[in-house]
């Protein structure tokens, strides 16, 4: 576990020392701030729900940007052999890198905590609903990051990783949206995969263990696949 | 060449199979061409494998393949376990509603009703895609679905799927159809929303409408209401259309009948309503109604104002036979009146199931140009008579109303009766019957059996005034009480937390520039600073 911690630390420092993370955070805050203030001003309601609704889509763009370098870079720079000849397991490496991305995401979320504080200053927001919304958003974003990490493990090129990541996430998004419109058996199958559907409950202020479980399984699943993929690529033919 | 051929066969075969699958999914049925494609695809795949048989064997026996397969199987297993965990998790899950008002928590009454549900109910909600109601309804129906396995919900857009809408006879978007074992109950959009205290406040009463619908479906009753015509009062196709709509929306069957012409009451009549009669009943009508009452048929009379009505001796005699007298007065109430007009009294409520919700939610009823009633006997033949609406003490019943409303000696003294009811307690047999049905046990205060409701006013229920505060509720409450049974479940809507903010122009500017410009700038500066420092080193 200490190894995972080292990887984590190394990656977080890497994030903090390159412009990517800051740019991503700034974009997140600009767009988030815009949504937040426009909704607040127009509806005059102390409500974070519209913010959460729109930011899900933004995370779709930001996640690949954050994760694309995590594994692709190693492979392209050749540092992956160095990394993996160390006495660490694939699991620890993947975990460390993943958690680093999540940490950056958490920092973004924490900074966005200014918004509900503004609401509290001017009005009377429902804190239970706000915290639940953040929980859901955290889970959704973490899921996107796990998918992004996986796509990063598929290729040498950061660019390709980013594009594939974005494509996969977009596909997931579309599936969720389509699941709502298409009825019948196909619709029900799609609805199971509808990543954003599970998010709706959180947005409204409902914590359902089913939804939490879904996101955690999704994350575990993709991290597992990432591990397999890394192993295969490093020692494969 | 061989390799190329077998490869091509395989590829073609797989494409055919996938297309067949796609076709099946898109059409939803195994069409002829789908079948042909599937078979052709399978044949090609097998052919391709057979053509490169030796390569296939070699591949399968190689360690690489076996290791690879083992690895794949391991992956599949892990994914399978995750899926299984989720399936189990779906069965045994816990759901917490974090809203202050418990907006997503079903009321205890609904949960009780759902827990008692022993048969499947198919709910089909017809909502246009852009319907404003759909949001509230879908969230609510989701909670119902989660709470009971017996509830299955399907959404149909009547614009996208007009044939289905026609099949169900749906004319307006917003109707929710509930079906079970051949029976059907419709929840109309009218019963989903009701007006609160102020005209702007619209309350979503979906939970009440849906739960009542479920009870209606699974309990035995479905009552028939007939409005009597031929006395110059308003018709349900004209000035009191609202009554018809709301009653039908609640699941009652509503019709009109001209008793003098028909010569007999319909056999299936559960409730007869006399809406603001201006002319008297004739002898036959009086007799028929008398017999109807003797057989414990229910009657509701909304009296027309004395200025509009003729003397009506037969009608009065009929009401006297159930202990109620009718005064030929105009009620003038300077203390409790609507907009300072003393001839539009706002009655006081006496506590009773009919008035309870109105009392709780402080909803008023207004009776413009009303008549007062007398309780001639508070008890007769096991029936009790009491009032539920009264004027204030300071009111008077103006007898010479043609000469103005100022009080004179001889005018009736307040407090005056504006609404009276006749009822009796349930006998042992009825109580037994009630006790046996667990759903009945959920109803509040069902110890009475109503017979008659007489109100000193008709105008409150006309389309012009029905929307005023408690008017509709009071009317529906009276009907529900008379017909007894499930409708008396009343579920309060959840009041969402008040989250209004008030921002000055300066606040707006500060918030906007603060969040869109300042905050991200801080992050970029911090980043730039760290990056710069790093470069220096």
Q: Is the pTM of this model over 0.80?
A: no
B231: number of Cβ within 10 Å: 23
Distance set, CA B67 to CA B55, B71, B81, B478, B482 (Å): 18, 6, 21, 78, 78
- Encode pLDDT of B465-512 as tens digits: 988 888 988 998 898 888 875 445 566 666 666 677 888 888 888 889
Per-residue model confidence (pLDDT) at position B183: 76
Per-residue model confidence (pLDDT) at position B315: 94
B17-41 burial: b if 16+ Cβ within 10 Å, else e: beebeebbeeeeeeeeebeebbeeb
Q: Do residue B78 and residue A128 have CB atoms under 8 angstroms apart?
A: no
Q: Do residue A45 and residue B501 have CB atoms under 8 angstroms apart?
A: yes
Q: Residue B457 in contact with residue B302, Cβ under 8 Å?
A: yes
- Measured CA to CA, the distance from residue A196 to residue A172 in angstroms comes to 8
- Encode pLDDT of A87-135 as tens digits: 677 788 889 999 999 999 999 999 999 999 998 888 888 888 999 999 9
Per-residue model confidence (pLDDT) at position B505: 84
Distance set, CA B104 to CA A46, A69, A127, A226 (Å): 19, 42, 16, 38
Per-residue model confidence (pLDDT) at position B487: 47
Who contacts B141 (Cβ-Cβ below 8 Å, separation ≥6)? B123, B125, B151, B153, B176, B210
Per-residue model confidence (pLDDT) at position B248: 77
- Measured CA to CA, the distance from residue A164 to residue A195 in angstroms comes to 18
Q: Do residue B516 and residue A213 have CB atoms under 8 angstroms apart?
A: no
Instruction: Grade residue A4 by pLDDT with cuts at 50, 70 and 90.
Output: confident
Return left, alpha or beta for B445; rule: phi > 0 is left, psi -120 to 50 is alpha, else beta. left
Which of B82-91, B243-252, B448-457 is the least confident region?
A: B243-252
Closest CA to B369 of B333, B322, B415, B411: B333
Identify which of B111-125, B191-205, B240-254 has the greatest average pLDDT. Answer: B111-125
Q: Answer whether residue B172 shows pLDDT above 90.
A: no
Instruction: Grade residue A220 by pLDDT with cuts at 50, 70 and 90.
Output: very high
A70-92 burial: b if 16+ Cβ within 10 Å, else e: bbbbbbeeeebeebbeeebebbb
- Encode pLDDT of B196-242 as tens digits: 656 566 777 788 888 888 877 776 556 889 999 999 999 888 889 88
- Measured CA to CA, the distance from residue A134 to residue A49 in angstroms comes to 10
Closest CA to B475 of B305, B249, B280: B249
Q: Residue B56 in contact with residue B49, Cβ under 8 Å?
A: yes
Per-residue model confidence (pLDDT) at position B312: 92
Mean pLDDT over A202-214 rounds to 90
Instruction: Grade residue A236 by pLDDT with cuts at 50, 70 and 90.
Output: low
Per-residue model confidence (pLDDT) at position B268: 87
Closest CA to B458 of B470, B471, B473, B467: B471
Locate tokens 């404003």: which residue?
B132
Which of A209-213, B199-203, B249-253 is the least confident region?
A: B199-203
Q: What is the DSSP string of A12-26?
A: HHHHHHSHHHHHHHH
Helix axes A19-43, B505-513, angle to 10 degrees: 160
Q: Do residue B104 and residue A47 have CB atoms under 8 angstroms apart?
A: no
Mean pLDDT over B382-392 rounds to 93
Chain B residues in contact with A128 by the CB 8 A cut-off are 98-100
Q: Do residue B98 and residue A30 have CB atoms under 8 angstroms apart?
A: no
Which of A117-126, B169-178, B247-256, B487-496 is the least confident region?
A: B487-496
Percent of all residues in chain B with a pLDDT value above 90, rounded to a whole number:
26
Q: Do residue B500 and residue A123 have CB atoms under 8 angstroms apart?
A: yes
Who contacts B535 (Cβ-Cβ below 8 Å, separation ≥6)? none
Instruction: Grade residue A86 by pLDDT with cuts at 50, 70 and 90.
Output: low
Per-residue model confidence (pLDDT) at position A83: 66
Q: What is the DSSP string of A151-166?
A: HHTT-S-HHHHHHHHH
Chain B residues in contact with A210 by the CB 8 A cut-off are 86, 89-90, 93, 95
Does the CB of A53 have a partner CB in chain B at under 8 Å? no
More confident residue, B91 or B373: B373
Who contacts B368 (Cβ-Cβ below 8 Å, separation ≥6)? B305, B338, B341, B343, B344, B457, B459, B460, B465
- Cα-atom radius of gyration of chain A, to the nearest Å? 19
Task: With residue A56 as reference, give the H or E element that holds it.
Answer: helix A49-77
Chain B residues in contact with A30 by the CB 8 A cut-off are 516-517, 520
- Minimum CA–CA partner of B496 in chain A: A126
Both tokens of residue B75?
């992956």
Task: With residue B384 as reference, give the H or E element that holds it.
Answer: strand B383-390
Q: Residue B511 in contact with residue A41, Cβ under 8 Å?
A: yes
- Measured CA to CA, the distance from residue B518 to residue B494 in angstroms comes to 39
Chain A residues in contact with B71 by the CB 8 A cut-off are 228, 232
> Which member of A36, A44, A47 has the closest CB to residue B503?
A44
CA distance to partner chain A, nearest, from residue B251 (Å) = 29
Closest CA to B302 of B399, B390, B393, B228: B228
Both tokens of residue A165?
């990541």
Identify which of B30-44, B133-147, B241-255 has the greatest average pLDDT. Answer: B133-147
Q: Residue B527 in contact with residue A22, Cβ under 8 Å?
A: yes
- Minimum CA–CA partner of B77 in chain A: A221
- Cα-atom radius of gyration of chain B, to the nearest Å? 34
Per-residue model confidence (pLDDT) at position A184: 61
Mean pLDDT over A199-228 rounds to 90
How many Cβ contacts (< 8 angstroms) between chains A and B? 157
Per-residue model confidence (pLDDT) at position B427: 78
Is B337 strand, coil or helix?
strand
Work out the mean pLDDT of chain B and round it to a whole number.
84
Distance set, CA B279 to CA A114, B303, B305, B315, B456 (Å): 71, 11, 12, 9, 16
Who contacts B182 (Cβ-Cβ below 8 Å, separation ≥6)? none
3-class secondary structure for B425-452?
A: ECCHHHHHHHHHCCCHHHCCCCCEEEEE
B329-358 burial: b if 16+ Cβ within 10 Å, else e: bbbbbbebbbeeebbbbbbbbbebbbbbbb
Mean pLDDT over B503-523 rounds to 88
CA distance to partner chain B, nearest, from residue A210 (Å) = 6
CA distance to partner chain A, nearest, from residue B26 (Å) = 9
Per-residue model confidence (pLDDT) at position A237: 41
Chain B residues in contact with A36 by the CB 8 A cut-off are 515
Per-residue model confidence (pLDDT) at position B486: 44
- Encode pLDDT of B53-106 as tens digits: 777 777 777 777 777 788 788 888 888 898 888 888 887 888 888 888 788 888
Distance set, CA B529 to CA A22, A107, A173, B433, B523 (Å): 11, 17, 37, 81, 10
Q: Residue A126 in contact with residue B499, Cβ under 8 Å?
A: yes
- Measured CA to CA, the distance from residue B227 to residue B71 in angstroms comes to 77
Q: Answer whether residue B114 shows pLDDT above 80.
A: yes
B234: number of Cβ within 10 Å: 22
> Which member of B28, B89, B501 has the closest CB to residue A213?
B89
Mean pLDDT over B443-469 rounds to 84
Which of A31, A37, A178 best tests the B interface by mutation, with the highest count of B CBs <10 A?
A: A37
Both tokens of residue B405?
């409303």
Closest CA to B350 of B302, B421, B299: B421
Mean pLDDT over A216-223 rounds to 92
- Encode pLDDT of A164-192 as tens digits: 999 999 888 888 777 766 666 666 677 77
Closest CA to B345 of B369, B329, B323, B376: B369
Helix residue spans in A113-196 (DSSP H): 114-122, 127-152, 158-181, 184-193
Dihedral angle over CA of B72, B82, A228, A156, nearest 10: 110
Chain B residues in contact with A120 by the CB 8 A cut-off are none
Q: Residue B205 in contact with residue B476, Cβ under 8 Å?
A: no
Per-residue model confidence (pLDDT) at position B5: 76
């Amino acid at each position: 576990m200490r190894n995972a911690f080292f990887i984590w630390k190394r990656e977080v420092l890497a994030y903090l020392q390159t412009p990517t993370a800051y740019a991503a955070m700034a974009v997140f805050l600009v767009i988030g701030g815009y949504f937040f203030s426009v909704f607040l001003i127009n509806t005059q309601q102390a409500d974070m729900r519209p913010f959460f609704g729109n930011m899900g889509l933004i995370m779709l763009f930001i996640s690949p940007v954050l994760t694309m370098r995590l594994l692709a870079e190693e492979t392209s720079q050749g540092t992956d052999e160095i990394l993996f000849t160390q006495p660490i397991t694939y699991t620890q490496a993947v975990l460390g890198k993943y958690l680093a991305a999540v940490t950056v995401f958490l920092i973004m979320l924490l900074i966005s905590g200014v918004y509900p504080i503004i609401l509290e200053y001017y009005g009377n927001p429902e804190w239970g609903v706000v915290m639940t919304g953040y929980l859901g958003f955290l889970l959704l974003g973490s899921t996107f990051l796990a998918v992004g990490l996986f796509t990063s493990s598929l290729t040498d090129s950061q660019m390709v990783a980013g594009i594939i990541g974005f494509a996969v996430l977009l596909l997931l998004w579309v599936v969720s949206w389509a699941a709502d419109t298409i009825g019948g058996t196909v619709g029900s199958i799609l609805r199971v995969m509808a990543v954003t559907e599970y998010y709706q409950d959180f947005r409204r202020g409902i914590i359902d263990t089913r939804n939490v479980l879904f996101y955690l399984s999704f994350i575990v699943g993709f991290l597992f696949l990432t591990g397999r993929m890394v192993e295969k690529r490093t020692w494969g033919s | 060449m061989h390799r190329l051929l077998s490869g091509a066969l395989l590829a073609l075969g797989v494409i055919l199979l996938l297309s067949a699958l796609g076709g099946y999914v898109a059409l939803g049925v195994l069409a002829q061409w789908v079948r042909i494609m599937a078979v052709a695809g399978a044949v090609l795949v097998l052919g391709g494998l057979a053509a490169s048989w030796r390569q296939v064997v070699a591949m399968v026996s190689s360690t690489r393949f076996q290791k690879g397969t083992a690895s794949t199987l391991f992956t599949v297993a892990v994914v399978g376990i995750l899926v299984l965990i989720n399936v189990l998790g779906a069965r045994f899950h816990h759901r917490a509603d974090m809203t202050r008002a418990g907006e997503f928590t079903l009321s205890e009454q609904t949960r009780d009703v759902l827990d008692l549900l022993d048969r499947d109910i198919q709910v089909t909600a017809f909502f246009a895609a852009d319907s404003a109601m759909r949001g509230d309804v879908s969230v609510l129906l989701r909670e119902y679905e989660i709470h009971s396995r017996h509830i299955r919900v399907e959404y149909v857009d009547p614009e996208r799927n007009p044939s289905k809408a026609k099949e169900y006879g749906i004319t307006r978007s917003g109707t929710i159809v509930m079906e079970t074992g051949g029976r059907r109950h419709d929840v109309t959009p009218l019963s989903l929303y009701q007006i609160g205290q102020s005209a702007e406040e619209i309350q979503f009463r979906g939970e009440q409408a849906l739960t009542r619908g479920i009870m209606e479906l699974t309990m035995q009753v479905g009552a028939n209401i007939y409005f009597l015509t031929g006395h110059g009062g308003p018709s349900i196709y004209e000035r009191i259309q609202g009554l018809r709509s709301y009653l039908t929306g609640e699941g009652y069957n509503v019709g009109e009948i001209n008793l003098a012409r028909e010569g007999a009451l319909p056999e299936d009549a559960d409730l007869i309503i006399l809406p603001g009669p201006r002319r008297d009943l004739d002898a036959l009508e009086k007799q028929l109604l008398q017999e109807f009452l003797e057989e414990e048929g229910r009657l509701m009379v909304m009296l027309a104002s004395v200025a509009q009505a003729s003397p009506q001796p037969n009608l009065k005699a009929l009401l006297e036979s159930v202990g109620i007298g009718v005064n030929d007065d105009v009620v003038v109430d300077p203390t409790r009146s609507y907009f300072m007009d003393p001839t539009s009294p706002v009655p006081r409520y006496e506590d009773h199931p009919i008035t309870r919700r109105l009392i709780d939610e402080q909803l008023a009823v207004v009776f413009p140009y009303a008549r007062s009633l007398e309780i001639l006997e508070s008890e007769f033949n096991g029936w009790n008579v009491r009032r539920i609406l009264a004027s204030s003490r300071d009111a008077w019943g103006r007898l010479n109303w043609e000469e103005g409303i100022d009080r004179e000696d001889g005018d009736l003294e307040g407090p005056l009766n504006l609404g009276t009811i006749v009822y009796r307690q349930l006998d042992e047999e009825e109580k037994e019957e009630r006790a046996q049905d667990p759903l009945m046990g959920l109803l509040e205060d069902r110890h009475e059996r109503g017979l008659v409701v007489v109100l000193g006013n008709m105008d409150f229920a006309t389309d012009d005034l029905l929307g005023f505060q408690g008017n509709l509720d009071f009317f529906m409450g009276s009907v529900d009480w008379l017909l007894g049974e499930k409708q008396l479940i009343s579920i309060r809507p959840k009041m969402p937390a008040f989250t209004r903010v008030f921002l000055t122009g300066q606040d707006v500017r500060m918030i906007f520039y603060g969040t869109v410009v300042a905050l991200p700038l801080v992050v970029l500066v911090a980043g730039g600073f760290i990056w710069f420092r790093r470069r220096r080193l």
